[in-house]
Structure 1
Amino acid sequence: MYRELPQILGRETVDETNKTDQRMDRPILEFYQFKDRELSSHLFTQLNGLRQEGLFTDVLLCSEGREIPCHRNVLVSSSPYFRAMFCSNFRESHQARVDLKGVSPDILDSVVEYVYTGSIPITMDTVLPLMQAASMLQYSRLFEACSAFLQEQLSPDNCLSMIRLSEILHCGSLRERAREMAVQSFSDVAASEDFRELSLPELMCYLEDDRLCAEEEQVFETLLAWIHHDPFSRRGAIHDLFKKVRLRYIHPTYLFQFIANDPLIQSSTLCTEIIESVRRLMFSVSTKWPVELGPLWVAPRRYTCHETLVVVGGRKNSEQTSREALLYDERTQRWQWLAKLPIRLYRASYVCIHSILYVLGGLTMGSGDSVVSTTVYTLSLKTNQWRTAEPMLRPRYAHQSISYLHFIFVLGGIGPDRQISGSVERYNSMFNLWEPMAPMPTPVLHPAVAANDQRIYMFGGEDAMQNPVRMIQVYHITRNLWSRLETRTVKNVCAPAVTIEDKIYIIGGYTRRMIAYDTKANRFVKCENMKERRMHHSAAVIDHKLYVTGGRYINGHDVVEDSDSFECYDPKTDVWTSKGTLPYKLFDHGSLPLFCVSNKPYPP
């Protein structure tokens, strides 16, 4: 027993020794920075208690007879205003009482309480005197807190008043937020009494703003209402104001039938000259504007006008023709359902002009009978309601439509006799009139069609025997003449075409291939292929990128399947990117860019 005890004690001693050695191996802590995170708030709580008891205070802030005891060092530490007052050679630096004129006793008391506690209540009754006091006494964070409070109260009814207030108070953050609301809610703001009282420079500033959320027709009506509010002194400003209206984005019918006939416009020689310049430009069917119109015509769309993608009609999920119309916004990457087409149409054509969607012709699918239609349906996002427009001259389906300036051209298709037609007609939106044009030299079905520089290009297609036509047919818009060029490069059927700058992109058509035709150099350029052989799909250009939707494709087993694919092609990088899928499989549909004016939901 006694012999084993030392061994046991020895082991314990070794263990303790090892622990001691491990502790000694650690680095010795030579410095430790302790920070008491509660001390500063505790200190100010104690200082405020001393102030309230009148202990160690060395100055009285006075307003209208009320005296508020304070500590100079606290005031100096809290504000550049008091630092300059008490640390310079001002007489207040030696006075026990300091009168603060322009600050009411209650507001001064609240500000002092804020200095000692960092807390202050802000209400609509106190916010303005608090801002004035904060500005005078140089409490910038309190000033911005009052500004943030006012920004939360902003509405279309008071934003113009808030702008005037912000200028009086020299509050940039409030002014910018109020102006942002004024331009985004322009429709509501323009109807207010405050808007009619704007000065001419102020109104000009709004009309020049690219962020203005309004269509140009409304911009014109707004300036008219402003002038009519005080016609005697304001009618002389009509020319300067009219130059701020971006006439390029006004519907020609509205421009030439309403604006041109307005008495105020007619009273100004300079205004009528601008309208005549626009009229000459329209009639010349040219994309080059006169010198005198240049600065006005090149003005961009308002910032709040953005392009969206509209997908309409077609064959849905391999079943019957679809009445659906969908809108896709790239900024939110969401689909939104629009009003349904009034009837089901088989192989109608689709086009957008003046921010209005047109659905032209098609085969109406009735009970037992089908009728080739001349009907034209239109949809405006402002109302989200379908209406009928002036019908085409000839009934047709499986035709092509394309817009150019203020015209819509309808080409070929199949008529009531079920024969391929080469006829062409044109809709003039200035006069709401259809007129026949020169027929195409070789009637074809399902060509790829695009327009550029006063010409319409028709690539390929198929003849009555369903043989591919290796040909480019070109329609000269100004001369109403056709020319054609045979080429082995073209062999597309049921492929869309789009124009980006001076290149026309032909996308697929029973092939994966995409080629670009350079209209200036008169040559084809190879582009990156699509993933599958595709046909009966649709394409549109938004923000200089090509969006391809739906169609039919040939899978690896040579079986034709419907597609819900949604892809984007960037011509700058020559790269395809998947955008997900459509809400359903779709082909023979329309896919078009359409301008939206605001982010507000569309009417149901």
Structure 2
Amino acid sequence: MDDGGYLAREGDESYPPWFLQRLQELRSEGHLFDVTLCAEGTEIRCHRLVLSAFGDYFKAMFCGVHNESKMDKIEIGGVSAEALQLLVDYAYTSKIAITFENIRTVYEAANMLQIECVEYHCKDFLMQSLTPETCLGIWVLADKLLCTYLSAMARSYALKRFEEVCWTEEFLELPVDFLKMYVSDDDLHAEKEEKVMEAVMLWAKHDLEERQRHLKDLLACVRFAHVDQSYLKDIVEKDKKFAKLKELVKYQSIQARSCQTFQGEILVLGGMTAGDGQEEEHSDNMYRLDLYGNCLETMPLPFFLENSRGFAACSVEDDVIVTGGFHNMRQVWRYNPSLNSWTWRAMMTERCCHGMAVLQGQVYVVGGVAREEDPSSEWVWRDSTEVYNEDTNSWSAVAPLQQAVSNFGIASCCQKMYVFGGKIASDVMTDVVQCYDPNQDEWAFAAPLPTCLLHKFVTACTVNTKIYLVGDCIVCYNPKEDLYEELAELLYPWAVSSATVCGSEIFITGGYHEESRENNKCFFTVHSQCYNVNSDAMIFAKVLPVPLWGHCSVTIPKLEPMARRELTLTVH
């Protein structure tokens, strides 16, 4: 300072804890109290200044023209004494112990008293606590407190885990209005409609005298066109309480639920995993997952994909096409999941870290990197695009990209193919988006990636007429309007995840934590996340068998249970 004075360094880290400690000492010693809060007969002595600084509710109470601004004792209605005490303690200490036993009362009190920081902790606690046993209660609570995202998240979780949820105590105690919403939802994961009917009957029998009057409305939510009629007859004959069941069934919905119309599974191939010491090593397995993330089968990759990464995969006509990769940059294989057979197809131009998409029924390979003739040479970024002809088993070059790129998101939508972002040099990423029109055989630039996806590894998935981009969050791209809309945040923002579409859901698997990788550490994840396009909600699915990143995931038809399939290789 010019006058020779001393200026304490900005952001002195010792000051906030010291200040809080002095406030707590004043409180514990009983000094300078000027107001008493009352709840359920309990009195809590406080300082107006501390409460006013703590929350807008108390600031308005003490700094405005309300009568409470001059009162010595103030009754706080609608909150429990325990919750109020915890919130006051938090105001003085910045610490609060949230448990399953107190979460409801603390969340309700924080919501009413507008203590946003505590509300945030409560929402985070509940999001981490979603299980089949708790999701319905969380849904009801979040709906009551107008927390729309947590409500959608809990509801989406409950819909996906229906066949576990319907046996819980919370299901039996679910309010009838919520039950109607639940069992009538198109996204309810009930493979057989009989399960929905059984759940409704189970709920009704829990208090039949009181709940029988709701049966008519509840049964109208069952898709009876998809219920076996002999099963319905057996129910009536076995349980006389439901003798009038047929009379109650007046609405024959012919619309099947999404999981009944979509019968698929997820195939996860290769990538990198972590050894015992968290060092990187290749994953040489394929994992077959159901729509909940349960691992149904683990199969070794064939020898030509072992110790490799950087290959691409896509689904076409119920099979999987795998191309390129560091191991063999020209290889092309077609995999039939039902037969567990691999068939060699015509080789393409050398490339890895490239993209694949199916457009108008044809397979395209796009971009990537290669080392040309000399294996020791620098990487060369590819701008070339090739299309595969199944009839002639050959590849043909089409118009090249406007900008050579690798490690990008790629998807087909509205009769065009889109390439989102990616790397244009070893440590340089781009926000450029490129669009291919097969009718004109040309690439053009589209609107660049939004700020939230800059410098991120992006995965792209198409649902109906829109493309959903997965980075640290979900962003929806509308090709017709060339516009982006930011949607839900990922529960864990992992880099180099993989994503695939399962009906109206996007299944996101694996990845690594970017910050840990920058510090030369490998922190991979076993987490799977599931984003529901209809509800704009993100939930956790079952964990992967191993942590993975840089892998491929594709959706395949649901396989019938069968004896272990022998691996078949065919080279044409």
TM-score, with structure 2 as normaliser: 0.49
The structure with the larger Rg is 1
TM-score (norm 1): 0.46
